[in-house]
Structure 1
């Protein structure tokens, strides 16, 4: 759609997409989108926004809808105010700039809120984009960028990176951050592909998607590389990776050298870059061949730009000056309010505020920042240099100066004795002039940079007062309580903490209540990315419930209700087996090393087997029910597999399957294959299971529909569903399961129940719910193992009186028995933690089945923080035990 001014002044980002035809433009979990399809969607978005230029506030996100809205606005000539998809930030920017249109997600879909027909503003013809500086949020100070800025910077980046139309870059950074947006722009101008994801690089699922989509590059700020270290990036096999870019702050030279050497060995390049929002993104880059020899340099100016040094009065080093950049990507200027949107260009060059020197080969190196110098006791202190020195010592820190005092905010785990005295000596300050403040984690912006405003707020707090709590602090306490993991930090996630299906139920329900919403994929997100609802905020009655939790709750009700005779709806147990495979894929096949995987799986097997054996031993030897083989979980192995003795086939089948997989994954070759081909392995095993299902591999007449060999295909089906990363893979799983179920039982209703559950599991992450339903479903799903165990003894006591009452009693008894097991397990774990042998013998608890809580094996237990202990006592319940893929 043509804007009301010269079409040639527009960036080609939104206009020329169709010219790339059927090349793949976007890859998501749900499939691929060609440039032709993307162009059609962009045209519809442009028409929806209308022809008259208006100010469009867009809640950015690494999603197709956000990208389409962004490109549609550019194509139609509407200036875009790009902000994070955060309610508080959106409200602040709406109040500050009064946009004409607000485009954002709401109620599960994208909305275009047309606040007026025309525009309330005078908009300069060149104005294309408004961004916050350095990824900051909520500040009314914005950078005004033109279409020429966007076009020039995108083409410059594409040139020096050598972006090809066959490349596919993963969106590791937020779209509203200039670095993240530059990845989008530079690939679109070359007809390359984008892997849209909001997952963290610390998430195993990110790398599964990256491999499946044929990823060739990704971008990172310094914090990203810290996460890469934790994720075991140096051991990953990424055959398509061509290069990794780094910007958004200084990466320590030794880390640059390390990753440059790692890339050289693995066949990819590290490209260090330098930029600012005021330059649309990039001003300099370091040719990858120079990274190992010049790891402290930012390199040379990007194509089309130039760098020079401006002398700084009073600086002791005459070779150091302020870095000044000139180029077509320099901003029009700043905006401090709506009136500034009418302004044209007010600057021709960019004074970066960074101090630099020019070294051998014309390479520039940043040595400090002029705005981060402070006078303390009459001495000029370079705060950035203090931080860099502490970083070399392994102490993450951020500095601020006030009232003749240097405040150093350090992460508590890295704090060292006499740190204040060390800093004082380095800065030639009296010891009393340095104050150290501990914080669990340095505050960071959405782009991963240290939040200097938050650091200043910490520094301004009275001496001795605790650092202001970040919004994630309460969530860390929640995770620590439910998972019984002291020392939880905002960088941890449910998966990295070792959580699995039983703890998943409680955490998901409590998180949904705390957040007001449950983000898709929350279990792989760092806690710092989960934003709690503000105190006093209005809470909607509408809630969401994780599909796997809903299916587990529904299945156990169907199982118990059918056995009791309240109704006859079969299929719940077989559906639970598929859900168990799904949870096995999500919570056990994570990115941790092989030994931790095996210990975690052994713990989960123990959490199924030990309560079952203990309960059945009581029933067999005290009440006289069943057979001794049931108490030892041997009925499916040695028979008789008839009558009442078959009641527990499901538990035995699940235990046998998990033990077999534990032994298989203990082989390094199998472990490596699963990591490299996470979907292919369960797909192959599903195929093997279907050979048994269709009698291609016949079993004996006793091997019917309740034995491990005959039912493994259902577990493998759930496993494959958990690892399906593309639409094609999901469709394959759905088709295979639906076809295999046809005629399997000879009971259409039963087969339909399982098929419907499978479709939900594959395609629907969350289902609509209410707070009350969530609590009920959480209790039932979390106690499903115990309900299955105990209902056989409970319902006969009441079925002649009232079968519905017998069902309610059976469900309640299972929940109570589960709570008792949790309490006993937690006490045993605490008692073991207090013994001198605990540090050396934690692994023995796994074998014995009284394992440490989720993810805490085999490491020795640390004392629980007092606040968590008090919270436990107030609630009168222990920590949940290690969870199972039930």
Structure 2
């Protein structure tokens, strides 16, 4: 495709944007919805550029990780308009719109991407070199912007592409926001080389991110320090990423120990770690650490990027003469700052960049950052201006002084200030998670002889307080938000518990993992404790992680089930063990202290979350294959047959659970039975177990004439798990253990299988938690949360991969986890619609009440 004539002949477009079409049919953008070639991308960019109008105008673009946002950004550059790239949502959009009065606003309006012309011409006279405006202050909406030229963008894109050796076959994931200079540099450098972008707004903590990354044959992704914390949580080290070539780290100081660990991980797995250093004022990057030096020099930022140079400016008040302020020069240094619309007319006001960082040069020629001359801080990758936060708090009547580190902002409050209120004000304003804001109440601030706050002394006070005090309590409001998110509920208040809010075994795993991350530990009975009673523990060194036994058993059992069906190995008994775990969780989550109607409502909700996804999947399979019959779809195969079907027995476990829940709902719906269960919570399930054993031993000889439903044959394992949850004290636990040891052997005539079930039930009875590691907790949490869906879907996966058993196992687990994610999003969507419908009704109801 031949590029169109210059849209604005007086203005030079950024070369890599102008030349998009020269890369032809190579893939430019890969999304979950498909692939966009360079020719197609160029056509969309040129079409949008024409819509932006004649004459140079200030164009504000919402910088979301979407094709629409990418096209709008490139179109502005293609047409020579100065582009103000802002976060896709939040207070910054409104603040910067008010401060700079853009001529055109491009972004979502009621869910639809829209170009809004605020005037025909322009209210501005931007300098001919001005191409892009970026904020340096995260989501605060500060009017201070960085002015970048087309030459800045092209030079930095070429420089980064050179030292990373970006190839036209590379595919980089957009793991960082488009409006963030680091995330934008990934886009620019890859488009400059004709490489592809894997465009996604998913976090690296999301399964969907890695599914797309693998499917698109991803070769790289970028991360700030917090990204690497998330990678640890999701078990990145164990991931199979065959096309990964390199990982980049910037946006803040990555701890040297992490640099070494990830560099060594990359060596083992065949990819490189590039530690980088940059600022928005340098368009993105100023230095990089060659991967082969990362292990030996993990504290270094490395050497200047191609085309750039460093010098150390003397610092008069620093005791070490080898330390100076790091000053950078190169073609990527900004034109200067803008503080108001009038500054858009300015040309170059800056020739070199004083970074504000104190650094030294090592004997090997590498640069190391040793401190900061200014008070700016990068916290979890977000650049924060402490002075601006102090001004914000002063407007709310709070006298405070702020100091920042790599992972938290310390807010020293003088006088009587509510720490929770201060924490929430700061977190909401700058976009940090509340856990990254620590409020330090002080009677008075430490000060220097000049009267200025002594920031070094303040940091020392904060460190001393952190070392001696227990971990800060997580505010109940924050925990309520977490509960509301996981349970899709708007009725969360601090006096309610997980069980009170209708939590079930499917949401329990996610809730326990998320809470453990926030609090650092979980009480054994956290699910019945009011939210207000959940607190972080006192700080303890060397504290070991633990994993709840029921979660561990669900994770292990589902792997054993799938692996034995392939067969990768033959360790059977997992499904019957899961039946016991199901009874254990039934007692914990459905049989609460609520009244009978609420109990029945909770059982019904649990049934719905099992039956609907199951029948949806079976129905979908029936549309394309003839593996199943109507009785399978209706979960009645064990009752209605057919017998001896090769595939009809696939869902016996789900049928058993559903039939048991229906029968128990009918039974407990009787007032007398409900009262009996409440009066004898342990004896009642033991009695049901005795009755259920009639089917297990076929006392009446029914099985001689026809097969009994699986709920009758194996239902005693469910009630035994129920009794295990109600066992209180050593005697009752011994009784349940003895019942398991006496009834399981002989059921299959397979000693190994029976031993697995007895051992699993014993763990469930005696150990609330088992020792674990953080990474194991994360993996087990994902597997346990998806266990139902893995069981449901794996039948359609492994038969096609029997010759590759490990691949069959991984694919089966991945599909089930993916289906679990889809189902959870569907539930969230339904819950959202219900909330909106209720919110829409409430004003009318209030009006009717007032006028009635």
Whether TM-score is above 0.5 comes out as yes
Residue equivalent to 1:346: 349
1:723 aligns with 2:723: no
1:827 is matched with none
Q: Is the CA contact 1:613–1:632 (under 8 Å) kept in the aligned structure 2?
A: no
Structure 1 residues 612, 272: closer, same or farther in 2, change over 3 A? same
Superposed CA offset, 1:564-615 (max 9, x none): xxxxxxx9997798xxxxxxxxxxxxxxxxxxxxxxx999999757644534
Determine helix, strand or coil for the equivalent of 2:48.
helix
Question: Which residue among 363, 372, 391 is the counterpart of 2:366?
Answer: 363
Alignment of 1:197-236 (within 5 A): 197-236=200-239
How many correspondences in the alignment?
Answer: 584
Look up the SS of the partner of 1:476 in the other structure: helix
Given the superposition, is the C-alpha separation of residues 284 and 443 from structure 1 closer, same or farther in structure 2, using an over 3 Å criterion? farther
Q: SS state of the match for residue 113, structure 2?
A: strand
Distance 1:617 1:634 in 2: 23
- Shifted more, 436-445 versus 364-373: the winner is 436-445
SS at match of 2:374: helix
Trace 1:77-226 onto structure 2 (pairs within 5 A): 77-133=80-136, 135-226=138-229
Once the two structures are superposed, residues 741-765 of structure 1 have per-residue CA deviations (whole angstroms, 9 ceiling, x without a partner) of xxxxxxxxxxxxxxxxx9x999999
Secondary structure of the corresponding residue to residue 284 of structure 2: coil
Question: Distance in 2 between the 1:57 and 1:470 partners?
Answer: 38
Change (3 A) 1:229 1:160: same
Q: Residue 108 of structure 1: CA displacement?
A: 2.4
The 3-state SS of whatever aligns with 1:14 is: helix
Q: Distance in 2 between matches of 1:198 and 1:265?
A: 29
State the partner residue of 1:239.
Answer: 242
Task: Name the CA shift for 1:306/1:641 in 2 (closer, same or farther; >3 Å).
Answer: farther
Aligned-residue offset at 1:288: 0.6
The answer (yes or no) to whether the contact 1:247–1:275 under 8 Å persists in 2 is yes
Which of 792, 796, 821 in structure 2 is aligned with 1:686? 796
Q: Distance in 1 between matches of 2:704 and 2:92?
A: 62
TM superposition shift of 1:359: 0.5
Q: 1:40 to 1:370 in 2, by over 3 A?
A: same
Task: Say whether the 8 Å CA contact 2:426–2:437 is kept in structure 1.
Answer: yes
**Per-residue deviation at 1:107?**
2.3
Do the aligned partners of residues 437 and 230 (structure 1) sit closer, same or farther apart at CA in structure 2, a change above 3 Å counting?
farther
Whole-Å separation in 2 of the counterparts to 1:406 and 1:768: 42
> In 2, distance between residues paired with 1:404 and 1:114?
42
Residue 260 of structure 1 aligns to a residue in which SS?
Answer: helix
Give the 3 Å change call, closer, same or farther, for CA 190–634 of structure 1 in structure 2: farther
1:469-508 map, 5 Å: 474-478=480-484, 479=486, 481=498, 482=501
Alpha-carbon deviations, 1:391-414, whole Å to 9, x = none? xxxxxx9999999998778999x9
Listed one character per residue, the Cα deviations across residues 708-754 of structure 1 (whole Å, up to 9, x for unaligned) are xxxxxxxx9999597389xxxx9xxxxxxxxxxxxxxxxxxxxxxxx
| Larger RCO, structures 1/2 (Cα 8 Å, 6+ apart) | 1
Q: CA deviation at 1:114?
A: 1.3
Compared CA separation, residues 191 and 610, structure 1 to 2 (3 A): same
1:91 & 1:301 partners in 2: Cα distance?
A: 37
Q: 1:234 to 1:604 in 2, by over 3 A?
A: farther
Q: 1:332-371 deviations in whole A, cap 9, x for unaligned?
A: 1111111111111111110101100011221110000101
Listed as ranges, the matches of 1:259-338 within 5 Å are 259-338=262-341
Structure 1 counterpart SS, 2:125: coil
The Cα offsets for residues 773-827 of structure 1, whole Å up to 9 and x where unpaired, read as: 8669xxxxxxxxxxxxxxxxxxxxxxxxxxxxxxxxxxxxxxxxxxxxxxxxxxx
Matched, 1:614 2:668: no
Distance in 2 (CA, whole Å) between partners of 1:603 and 1:409 is: 54
CA distance in 1, matches of 2:705, 2:81: 73
CA distance in 1, matches of 2:36, 2:607: 32
Closer, same or farther: CA 161–575 of 1 in aligned 2, 3 Å? farther
C-alpha contact 1:326 1:349 (8 A) present in aligned 2: yes
Evaluate the alpha carbon distance shift between residue 265 and residue 350 of structure 1 in structure 2; reply closer, same or farther with a 3 A threshold: same
> Structure 1 residue 252 and structure 2 residue 255: aligned?
yes
**1:35 aligned onto 2:35:** no
Q: SS at the partner of 2:35?
A: strand
- Taking a change above 3 Å as real, the CA distance of residues 94 and 207 of structure 1, as seen in their structure-2 partners, is same
CA RMSD of aligned residues (A): 6.1
Shift of 1:32: 1.4
- 8 Å Cα contact 2:287-2:305 kept in structure 1: yes
Work out the CA distance in 2 between the residues paired with 1:135 and 1:468: 24
